[in-house]
Amino acid sequence: MKSTIVKRSVVIGGHKTSVSLEEPFWTELKQIAHTQHVPLSVLVTQIDGTREQSNLSSEIRVFVLHHSRLPQWPGHGLVANANGFSAADSS
């Protein structure tokens, strides 16, 4: 059986690293970045800045899961903060 995990390179803080995610997570992550009008690397850097114990791939999956469960309003997205993820302020 062929693995559904796709390994891609991303730049975090000027350093290249690889992240392994299933294709649906990559697709959704790119859509979130597009919606927030930020490059994928910026979004991944935000996610990386909030993780405490888990690896980056796991943290991205949790981020995508949280994002998919929040109601969506025009002009709002998710932002990373010290307490995890929250809805972005439109101001």
pLDDT value at 89 more than 50: no
Q: How confident is the model at residue 53 (pLDDT cuts 50, 70, 90)?
A: confident
Output DSSP code: residue 78: E
> pTM (2 decimals)?
0.72
How many domains does the structure of the chain reveal?
1
- The string of pLDDT tens digits covering residues 36-48 is 999 999 999 999 9
Domain harbouring 74, CATH code: 1.10.3990.20
Q: Which domain holds residue 12?
A: 5-87
- The string of pLDDT tens digits covering residues 54-80 is 899 999 999 999 888 776 544 445 554
pLDDT value at 88 more than 80: no
